[in-house]
Amino acid sequence: MNLCRIKTKSLTILLWLVLAAGVLKQGEAAIGVNWGTISHHRLSPKTAVDLLKVNKISKVKLFDADPQVVNALRGSGIQVMVGIPNEMLSLLGSSPAAADLWVRQNLTTHLSAKPPADIRYVAVGNEPFLGSYSGQFQSYVMPAILNLQQSLVKANLAGSVKLVVPCNADAYESSIPSQGAFRSDLMQIMTQLVSFLNTNGSPFVVNIYPFLSLYGNSDFPQDYAFFGGTNHPVVDGPNTYYNAFDGNYDTLVAALDKLGYGQMPIVIGEVGWPTDGAISANLTAARAFNQGLINHVLSNKGTPLRPAVPPMDVYLFSLLDEGAKSTLPGNFERHWGIFSFDGQAKYALNLGLGTGLLKNAKDVRYLPSRWCVANPSKDLSAVANHFKLACSVADCTTLSYGGSCSGIGEKGNISYAFNSYYQLQKQDVQSCDFDGFGMVTFLDPSVGDCRFLVGVADTDDASSSGWHCGIWIVSRILIFMGVFMVLLLEE
């Protein structure tokens, strides 16, 4: 499709200029959060929205368009970015009917409701250009975007809802920021994408993770990952970089500039620091990074290549821990939340939103105060298979090397695994049997920083990751069925 044929081009260029001027003049960033829901113990959407509101978090980024979650955000005053999974890009790119149907079901329905949801962005895929995907989704991105944009135009939403593509920072590269350029295999598609974003008034969305740089490279200077100064600054001509975030950000600025869009607004789609599951993932480091980031961004100092122009928005990753996420990237993957799974603040953090330190979720309903532990009267030498079974279903990542529960000993490890499984099974008494190796106790077995959890009952019957995956699958089936019916009618 020729972008010049879009009838709204002139208007959207004007809107973008107004938007860009406003951003450059205002010079202020907004702090939001990512809200992921891949959890064994899922807070009800209402409780999570109340948590956002009590902390005055006015922007939230989702990874899908779960109707329960979006409905809970209706009338909240919170601006929403909904997401489209990478797996849907092929369908949406090949079928305008599918794009129309997605817009009707996931945008029009919520925007026309009383009260409406305040949906501002649609994230088309999530890091679809990630190098480890080996180009699996790459060719689907632009066709999906172009079809969705036409669907927005048909639905009279193109002026209010913007399409974006959250990119991983591996989409660009350079040894020094000023030489930043997009990967050679992405140059053609990035040129098309950035042109589209510019034409339609959308920002460039990027995910930046200094933690992953530190985690994946033993030579990476630890102090450079934070914001307190470093003994290993990066000198780039007249500019000196004292933290990895600024260096990464300006590498993107330089890459955009090479394509002719050096002033394009940038949104940080994900940034944060995990609290468990790895050596450098702990409460102290997470607080230091996130507070340093917030203070740095809200100071409006910007970066050497964009002085006094901070990112347009910054979405912290993430709101809550997600204990059912894949651990393929590392065991830390389930521990990015600034709040634990039950909405309780993990550490003192001031988001700069006028509420002081983080406030906990209220009126969370827990299961009874009881735990499943290893039976002290039993010989545990034959318990290995039970331990593996428990941890194959429940989350045992805190037991990993460097985790908060890594030092509680063999019997402690067994008890932790048993309890994690027991809580996941809603404290079903049979789930603590383990052929007699387990027993229920009313004494909290938590040790130091190692917390033995009690599950939440505040879930709207939607707590398990299985339920969430089921809804995800059903929604995709419905889209396929809907597209099929639309195509039949078109014939």
- Among all residues, which ones are annotated catalytic? 127, 270
Q: What is the DSSP letter of 303?
A: E
Three-state SS for 196?
helix
User: What is d(CA 126, CA 82) in angstroms, rounded to the nearest whole number?
Assistant: 11
Sign of the torsion angle spanned by Cα atoms 245, 251, 252, 253: positive
Three-state SS for 313?
strand
- Closest C-alpha to 198, from 459, 392, 6: 6
User: What is d(CA 387, CA 465) in angstroms, rounded to the nearest whole number?
Assistant: 21
Q: What is the DSSP letter of 156?
A: T
- How many CA atoms lie within 13 Å of 413's alpha carbon, on the beta-carbon side? 16
For residues 68 and 460, the answer to whether their CB atoms sit within 8 Å is yes
User: What is d(CA 430, CA 112) in angstroms, rounded to the nearest whole number?
Assistant: 47
- Closest C-alpha to 204, from 194, 195, 214: 194
Which residues, at least 6 apart from 48, have a Cβ–Cβ distance to it below 8 Å?
35, 69, 72, 319, 320, 343, 361
DSSP code per residue over 255-293: HHHHTT-TT--EEEEEE----SSBTTBSHHHHHHHHHHH
Length of the chain equals 491
Per DSSP bridges, beta strands 234-236 and 239-241 are antiparallel
For residues 127 and 168, the answer to whether their CB atoms sit within 8 Å is yes
Tokens of 34: 């990512």
Tokens of 161: 């809802």
- How many CA atoms lie within 13 Å of 207's alpha carbon, on the beta-carbon side? 25
Per DSSP bridges, beta strands 167-168 and 204-207 are parallel
Three-state SS for 472?
helix
Residue 77 buriedness (CB in 10 A; 0-12 / 13-18 / 19+): exposed
Q: What is the DSSP letter of 379?
A: -
